[in-house]
Amino acid sequence: MAKVDALIVERMQSPVPVIPALADHLIAAGGKRLRPLLSVAAARLAGARDDACLKLAAAVEFIHTATLLHDDVVDGSQLRRGKVAAHLIWGAPSSVLVGDFLFSRAFELMVDAGSMAALGVLAKASRVIAEGEVLQLTRAHELNLGQDMYLEIISAKTAELFAAAAEAGAISAGAPLAKCQALRDYGMKLGIAFQLADDALDYDGAAEALGKNPGDDFREGKATLPLLLAIERTGPSETKFWERTVAHRDQTDLDFRRAQDLVSRTGALDATLNLAADYAGAAKKALSGFAGPWRTALEDLADFAVSRSA
Amino acid sequence: MAKVDALIVERMQSPVPVIPALADHLIAAGGKRLRPLLSVAAARLAGARDDACLKLAAAVEFIHTATLLHDDVVDGSQLRRGKVAAHLIWGAPSSVLVGDFLFSRAFELMVDAGSMAALGVLAKASRVIAEGEVLQLTRAHELNLGQDMYLEIISAKTAELFAAAAEAGAISAGAPLAKCQALRDYGMKLGIAFQLADDALDYDGAAEALGKNPGDDFREGKATLPLLLAIERTGPSETKFWERTVAHRDQTDLDFRRAQDLVSRTGALDATLNLAADYAGAAKKALSGFAGPWRTALEDLADFAVSRSA
């Protein structure tokens, strides 16, 4: 992974000074590099000996970083990885254009990696992510969005890139179709588990210490699963509260505390975390056809994804 | 070109309804399809018999459309192709994300076209465009930007895609390196001629009828060549006027008329149009190694690029 990090730093350079400055703000702020790890692990698990997967891994992180830059502009987010969001420092226009730069760089890296099939998987993933983001944007404030539509949105906007990262790694290693499919399946379930845990964290009082800004989803009126389940379970007595705060985003600071309390008391938080654990378990099952230390690493990753508050 | 248009309409579809609606608003509004025409003409000129170049052509138009959507958000533009800009109807977030969708679709089309080398050329072009846009964003209001830096900016943000469209078409047709390079050279010079003529048009009184909104560049304080030359030629007596209106963008409606008058009276408008004609001539010279009706078509295109006010 140190080689992937070196590639990331090398390929985010540009003669236009704002670009590496803005990109470095986000990339050097850390991030868990989960997605590139998936590409490398999947390639190694499928028997890769060369380093083409490192280029794919860096490309995957660039796609992810580009979507973060665009998302923060779209959502007007204040914080990212515990630092002030880039668009608040360099302006939304620079964030949009540096996102485009990183996205293009990702495809240049994929060309270097040399697998057209892996490139096709990641091009499709980028398109599905954009569709998921638009879907979320247009339906984000629906109080009765439903668990199925919620899962469809997070599958597209989050899990697709996990799935594609693993699949592309396996394809670039020349793995047979069934193994590529199993690793894609692992990535998809891991990504869903990861997003469910992340959405739960936004209502979790212990999250402040992690550089997260709990309550962001609520303040943006984003219909995530903990909220949707709480709305379902509180019944008519709270209808007006949810309509005012979520559908119309007319909120005071105290409203988030009340929402947090309802999400916890109705068991909506636990139900979300349980579903995340189910998906993490299903992700591990998808690895049954593999063996060795890389399988163990991916199993540990599935456990980690749902225990990030630890 | 009818086949390219059909491909464009087919591949802008999505189950998320906002996406085709927003894309169609821009794509159906017309546009001259110059860039896809370049890909097809270059491929045919290089002897292509199959239709891979049509997919590349549609991909090139998608990249162009994605950059238009992002540019209009970045610049806060009101009009595009004579219609209200998409971000004013669907909001900036949708414009950013649908741009990302079209950009991803472009790479999916390139994967279908099957040439990794052509894909590499267009991936690099996308990155150079983003660099050019950031460069313009950060240096747009400099009164003494200079003709060289101006040409560097328009080469990156505009001409690179013309060059890449032609080069990718030639590569996909299996043309030898020298022919690919000649067609790239043609595209680069054509793109510079095109942007020079476009920047002149923004100070041309006759432009209203073309669905353009003359004065946009001036109102945004964009340092294009007609303005830079006029600033150079008017000397100290107008320094305060240019500083107020361009550097600080403190303007009244009458200021644009005065700027237009100065651009015309100093000969800055004619000098810009003459430079555009020089580049169009150089573009035609780059075609000397080719023959037949496609060469004629590309020569006509170079003439058209600098006579669009006609």
Q: Read out DSSP for A121-145?
A: HHHHHHHHHHHHHHHHHHHTT-TT-
pLDDT of residue B204: 84
Q: Is residue B234 part of a domain?
A: yes
pLDDT of residue A206: 66
CA dihedral (A208, A212, A218, A220) positive or negative: positive
pLDDT of residue A310: 36
pLDDT of residue B179: 96
Q: Which residues of A are less than 8 Å from B97 in CB distance?
A: 70, 74, 130, 133-134, 137
What is the domain count for chain B? Answer: 1
First to last CA, chain A: 23
Residue A245 CA: distances (Å) to CA of A254, B93, B108, B117, B123: 11, 22, 40, 52, 44
Answer whether A97 sits within 8 Å of B134, measured CB to CB.
yes
- Is B218 within 8 Å of B256 (Cβ atoms)? yes
Q: Is residue A95 part of a domain?
A: yes
Answer whether A100 sits within 8 Å of B67, measured CB to CB.
yes
Over the stretch A239-256, which tens digit does the pLDDT of each residue have?
Answer: 999 999 999 999 998 999
pLDDT of residue B28: 79
Answer whether A100 sits within 8 Å of B14, measured CB to CB.
no
- Is A307 within 8 Å of A273 (Cβ atoms)? no
Of A264, A255, A194, nearest to A226 (Cα)?
Answer: A264
Over the stretch A86-141, which tens digit does the pLDDT of each residue have?
Answer: 898 899 999 999 999 999 999 999 999 999 999 999 999 999 999 999 999 888 88
Q: Which residues of A are less than 8 Å from B137 in CB distance?
A: 18, 93-94, 97
Answer whether B126 sits within 8 Å of A120, measured CB to CB.
no
Please determine, for residue A62, whether its predicted confidence score (pLDDT) is greater than 90: yes
User: Of the ranges A9-18, A200-209, B169-178, B273-282, which one carries the lowest mean pLDDT score?
Assistant: A200-209
Question: What DSSP element (H or E) covers B84?
Answer: strand B83-84
Residue A138's CB is within 10 A of a number of other CB atoms, namely 18
Please determine, for residue B309, whether its predicted confidence score (pLDDT) is greater than 60: no
pLDDT of residue B60: 97
Across the interface, of A18, A75, A130, the residue whose CB is closest to B101 is A130
Answer whether B101 sits within 8 Å of A67, measured CB to CB.
no
Of B251, B172, B182, B192, nearest to B217 (Cα)?
Answer: B251
Over the stretch B216-261, which tens digit does the pLDDT of each residue have?
Answer: 889 888 899 999 999 999 988 899 999 999 999 999 989 999 999 9
Instruction: Decide: helix, strand or coil at residue B83.
Output: strand
pLDDT of residue A267: 96
Answer whether A94 sits within 8 Å of B120, measured CB to CB.
no
Calculate mean pLDDT across residues A261-279: 96
Answer whether A97 sits within 8 Å of B73, measured CB to CB.
no
Q: Which of A95, A138, A149, A153 to mutate to test the interface with B (most CBs of B within 10 A)?
A: A138
Answer whether B134 sits within 8 Å of A73, measured CB to CB.
no
Residue B17 C-alpha, separation from nearest chain A C-alpha, in angstroms: 9
Q: Is residue B186 part of a domain?
A: yes
Residue B160 burial class via C-beta count within 10 angstroms: exposed 0-12, middle 13-18, buried 19 and up: buried
Q: Which residues of A are less than 8 Å from B129 in CB distance?
A: 100, 104
Q: Is residue B304 part of a domain?
A: no
Calculate mean pLDDT across residues A195-221: 80
How many residues would you count in chain B? 310
Band of residue B310 on the pLDDT scale cut at 50, 70, 90: very low
Over the stretch B106-138, which tens digit does the pLDDT of each residue have?
Answer: 999 999 999 999 999 999 999 999 999 999 988
Of A31, A28, A36, A95, nearest to A61 (Cα)?
Answer: A36
Q: Is residue B302 part of a domain?
A: no
Q: Is residue A246 part of a domain?
A: yes
Interface of A with B in 98-137 (CB under 8 A): 98-101, 103-105, 107-108, 110-111, 114, 116, 119-120, 123-124, 126-127, 129-131, 133-135, 137
**Can you give the CATH number for the domain in which B278 is found?**
1.10.600.10
Interface of B with A in 225-264 (CB under 8 A): none
pLDDT of residue A253: 84
Give residue B66's identity as a one-letter amino acid code. A
Across the interface, of B16, B70, B104, the residue whose CB is closest to A135 is B16
Q: Which residues of A are less than 8 Å from B67 in CB distance?
A: 100
Q: Is residue A310 part of a domain?
A: no
Over the stretch B144-171, which tens digit does the pLDDT of each residue have?
Answer: 899 999 999 999 999 999 999 999 999 9
Separation of alpha carbons B211 and B30, rounded Å: 11
Q: Is residue B261 part of a domain?
A: yes
Parent domain of A40: 2-305
Residue B147's CB is within 10 A of a number of other CB atoms, namely 13
pLDDT of residue B141: 84
